[in-house]
Amino acid sequence: MRIGQGFDLHRLVQGRPLMLGGIEIASDRGEEAHSDGDVLLHALIDAILGAYAKGDIGSHFPPSDMKWKDADSKLLLKAVLEETQADIINIDSTIVLERPKLRPWIDPVRESIASLLGIDIDQVSVKAKTAEGCLGELGQGDAITASVVVLVK
Ligand code: MG
């Protein structure tokens, strides 16, 4: 077995969709990014690449390459799954977001990730918390972070 860890952070701006785990969350703001900005999938991709010691999302999909402009992160994940032939035991993740409240979205996000990975929903944990109004831009609701741990065999 091997373990991988990933982290991602994006600024939140008006006029962009808020993408999380491959689905759009109802929100007045979304991630500012070169790709679709899905922080959770980006952290997941880094965790999977990390588990196999195969670099990171930036080395596989450089932001300088226009090919990845507004790229669907689901396709990036698919490419990484093909490259690593990942056999995933489970993933655990934490999102930090001030608003909107993510509780109603947790199970849809888990389902989406499970379906993208071809595993069961009980192998996917998604937790969400706020920055309690502190911690600078996170606390002001101007940014979002996600961290993911994955166990593979
Ligand atoms: Mg990112």
Q: What is the pLDDT of residue 134?
A: 80
Mark the residues whose beta carbon lies below 5 A from ion ligand 1.
Answer: 8, 42
Ligand 1 mean position to 134 CA, how many Å?
Answer: 22
Which CATH number is 2-152's, of 3.40.640.10, 3.30.1330.50, 1.10.357.10, 3.30.465.10? 3.30.1330.50
Mean pLDDT of 118-142: 92
Q: What is the pLDDT of residue 108?
A: 98
Ligand 1 mean position to 42 CA, how many Å?
Answer: 5
Contact 61, 76 (CB under 8 A): yes
Identify which has the larger pLDDT, 5 or 131: 5
Ligand 1 mean position to 8 CA, how many Å?
Answer: 5
Q: Which residue ranges make up each domain of the chain?
A: 2-152
Q: What single string gives the DSSP state of each residue in 128-147? A: EE--TT-THHHHTTSEEEEE
Contacts of residue 31, defined as CB under 8 A and 6 or more positions apart, other chains included, come to 10, 11, 12, 13, 16, 18, 19, 37, 38, 39, 144
- Identify the bridge partners of residue 7 per DSSP, sorted by sequence position: 147
Rounded CA-CA distance 52/17 in Å is 31
Ligand 1 mean position to 94 CA, how many Å?
Answer: 15
pTM of the model: 0.95
